[in-house]
Amino acid sequence: MSTYYDRRDGLWRVQVQKHGRRISTTARTREEAQQLEAKYRRDLFLSRIGERPQRTVEEALLRWLDSEVPKLRSRKQTESHARALLGFVEGRPIEDLPTAWEDYRVAHPELSNSTLNRRGAILRRIGNLAFRWNWTGVPLGKRIALLPENPAREIYLTAAQVRALVRACSHRPARDAIRIAAYAGLRLGEIMRLQPGDVKHGAIVVRPGKTGRARLVPVHPAIRTALRRLPIPCGWRWILRHFERSRAAVGLTHVRFHDLRHTHATWLLDAGADPITVRDLLGHSSLGVTSRYLHRDLARLKRAVWRLK
């Protein structure tokens, strides 16, 4: 085991041999490095005499962030959720994981169930990993009970309502974004990334994003002019600010920008598109995601079945 100052990085480095493998970590100060070295020495001693070293929830979280999260498509969002948990898990023994989850839920009543569940799922994952790593003899992940998810939003606009939103919007880039979301079904992030070269042969080439793969979306006549003005010349916050003003002006304050994408899906189904086509056009990861819109088509399907002799 060694501790030394690395002039190239301006950090203190602690190295240790464990089970034939060299493990290296860094610290910002000499004192912090010495504390890490003392902890490693204590853990090695306990493992040699057959006792399990005391681990913390924070250690498990950091190890998971280093080993698994970089491989995830949703890395940035996952890291953001993990940062929100750090203050609640710092210094807590790994066995205290279920209590840390309960404390976090009580301390954040303002968060939606879906947001809490994203963070609870992280704690559940590191609880399962801690058991696999032999940091604990208890499968702690099973003790993290997630909350009932908020019901899926079922807000869909008519073509007349979308036109009203556009007319009420005084900001041209926001008007363009509203049209593209409704008539192409793109997420706001996808709209903001669009470049002139992404429109080819009458289709929008949506570059890989949330689902990790590109897709083609045919250009509807209603958005041809908007697409000629790409890229969107402002940030997404300006788009949302002007969208919120226009929705208030037409009495649709309950509508969110993402509801325009849901609206596009229902328009496709109303026009007779099959679920697989809707999945491909919207870039859903599976038909299970698309199925949330199918209840809108139930009346038409019932009429078709009832006509059978």
Indicate if 172 and 255 belong to the same structural domain. yes
**pLDDT interval class at 52 (50, 70, 90):** low
Sign of CA dihedral 59, 62, 67, 68: positive
Please give the model's pTM, rounded to 2 decimal places.
0.56
Indicate if 30 and 122 belong to the same structural domain. no
Domain boundary among 120, 151, 182: 151
**3-class DSSP assignment, residue 24:** strand
The strand pair at 21-27 and 2-6 is best described as unpaired
**pLDDT interval class at 222 (50, 70, 90):** very high
Segment 140-145 shows an average pLDDT of 91
Indicate if 46 and 64 belong to the same structural domain. no
| Parent domain of 34 | 1-53
Indicate if 273 and 225 belong to the same structural domain. yes
CATH number at residue 192: 1.10.443.10
Indicate if 284 and 167 belong to the same structural domain. yes
Indicate if 35 and 99 belong to the same structural domain. no
Indicate if 123 and 193 belong to the same structural domain. no
Indicate if 20 and 89 belong to the same structural domain. no
Highest mean pLDDT pick, 17-21, 93-97, 152-156, 291-295: 93-97
Indicate if 1 and 138 belong to the same structural domain. no
Torsion angle defined by CA atoms of residues 77, 82, 83 and 85, in that order, rounded to the nearest 10 degrees: 140
Domain boundary among 26, 53, 80: 53
| Whole-number Å distance between alpha carbons of 156 and 134 | 50
pLDDT of 227 > 60? The answer is yes
Indicate if 144 and 164 belong to the same structural domain. no
Task: Say how many domains are in the chain.
Answer: 3
Read off the DSSP letter of residue 56: B
- Min mean pLDDT across 10-24, 251-265, 286-300 is at 286-300
CATH number at residue 25: 1.20.5
pLDDT attached to residue 309: 44
242: tokens are 């002007």
* Mean predicted lDDT score pLDDT of the chain: 81
**Which CB contacts under 8 angstroms, 24+ apart, belong to 241-245?**
241/174, 242/169, 242/170, 242/171, 242/174, 243/165, 243/169, 243/174, 243/177, 243/178, 245/168, 245/169, 245/170
Indicate if 295 and 190 belong to the same structural domain. yes
Indicate if 13 and 33 belong to the same structural domain. yes
Residue 204 near residue 245 (C-beta atoms within 8 A): no
